[in-house]
Amino acid sequence: MRSFLINRLSQSLVLLVIVSIIGFGVLNLIPGGPLAQYGLDPGMTQDDMARLTEQLGLNRPIWVQYFEWAGGLLQGDWGHSFRDGAPVLNVIGRHIVATLLLMGSSTAVAIAIGTWIGIRGATHRYSVFDYTATIGAMVALSIPTFWFGLIGIYVFSLRLSWFPAGNMYTIGDGSVLDVLHHLVMPSIVLALVHIAIWSRYMRSATLEAINQDFVKTARAKGLSERRVLIKHVVGNALLPMITLAGMQLPSVLTGALVTETVFTWPGMGRLFLDSLGYSDYPVVMGLLMFSAILVILGNLIADFIIAIVDPRIRLA
């Protein structure tokens, strides 16, 4: 158990270093740089530019910049935004609640609905329900998230006026109900793709579990079909799904990026796009590291849950 933790943490550290190097390198390959936006400003002189470059430390070699940035990170200093000089952690902190809310609610929706569709599809194989679910999943997987977002806005906001078209709350309101009202559409749109993926995996995992001998044993004991399904089939079918949930985390994150943009949701996704537009390196790098840590943590937690649920697996 302890050796597992040490092992995994050291692996994660190596991974984080690699991610940071690649991220830092690629960012510096982008032509223009943080000062490009001032290039067309007639009020900026060559001297001003040089002073700014000096001030931000952009005139030094990349590897010096990297080590300075990484050294700061190790001491808990994630740097300051080029745009407004605010500490990066504060900038991320302002947006993280919105993103976690969106990701959490849409993941919960996806898992609940996807699991139900998957189990029902497996127990009623080749039924109308099963075929409908299969076709629905194909459609949800084939059409990009932003399209669903736009259609959702058109139908439910512009035509029916059921839900707001964007943002997280009405200015001047901000009550829990108001936020929930704003949350419905983006979280469902973000969940669609994951419902599709989750239900397909759940269906095949359930089918595999149903054909196991121990399910026959359970029936031979005289258990009711309901108990056979819940206690013996679903429990075993959910095991591989825990790993899947861990692995799906990055795609939820990237999905959130698109969804937040479509619904002008004030989360990390939008912050990322905006910061990239301004070449705000410290914020972009901060977000990159933050997502990497989130993904690593998610997988670690998935492994722990499996070890708790499955007696055969010992963390070692």
Partner 1 sequence: MDDATMFPSPALGMSRRRAGPQFDPSTRRENSTMTVTTETASPQDLALSVHDLTISLPPGMERPYAVEGVSFQLERGKILCIIGESGSGKSVTANALMGFLPNPIKITSGTIHLEGMGIVGMPAEQLRSVRGRVVSMIFQDPLSALNPLMTVGEQITEVLLAHGVGTKQSRRARAVELLTEVGLPDPQLMYHQYPFRLSGGQRQRVMIAMALALEPAILIADEPTTALDVTTQAQILKLIRDIQRRKGMSVMFITHDFGVVAEIADDVVVMEKGKIVEQGDADQVLKSPSHPYTRRLLAAVPHLTGEDRSRTEKATAPVLKVENLVKTYRSGGVLFGKKRVVPAVNDISFEVAPGRTLGVVGESGSGKTSLGRLLIKLLDSDSGKILFEGRDIAGLREPEFRALRPSIQMIFQDPFASLNPRSTIGHILTVGPVAHGTPYSRARDEAKALLAHVGLDAGAFDRYPHEFSGGQRQRIGIARALMFKPKLLIADEAVSALDVSIQAQILQLLDQIQRETGVSMLFITHDLRVASQICDEIVVMQKGRIVEYGPPSQIFLSPQSAYTRELVAAIPGERPDLAVPDVLDSSAVAGTPKGRKS
Query: Which positions touch partner 1 (CB under 8 A)?
Result: 3-4, 6-7, 212-214, 216-225, 227, 231-232, 235-236, 239, 309-312, 316
| Nearer CB in complex with partner 1: 153/209 | 209
Largest CA distance in the chain: 86
Least CB distance from residue 117 to partner 1, whole Å? Answer: 21
| Nearer CB in complex with partner 1: 64/313 | 313
Nearest to 25 by CA among 284, 254, 220: 284
Least CB distance from residue 297 to partner 1, whole Å? Answer: 21
Least CB distance from residue 212 to partner 1, whole Å? Answer: 6
User: What's at 290, amino acid-wise?
Assistant: F
| Nearer CB in complex with partner 1: 90/217 | 217
What gap in Å lies between CA 115 and CA 95, rounded to an integer? 30
C-alpha dist (Å) from residue 5 to 8, 12, 239, 304:
5, 10, 21, 10
What gap in Å lies between CA 26 and CA 285, rounded to an integer? 11
| Nearer CB in complex with partner 1: 207/258 | 207
Least CB distance from residue 194 to partner 1, whole Å? Answer: 25
- Rg from Cα positions in the chain: 24
Least CB distance from residue 221 to partner 1, whole Å? Answer: 4
| Nearer CB in complex with partner 1: 51/216 | 216
258 near 146, Cβ under 8 Å?
yes
SS3 224: coil
| Nearer CB in complex with partner 1: 98/122 | 122
Q: What is the DSSP letter of 157?
A: I
Least CB distance from residue 216 to partner 1, whole Å? Answer: 7
Sign of the dihedral defined by the CA atoms of residues 166, 170, 174, 178, in that order: negative
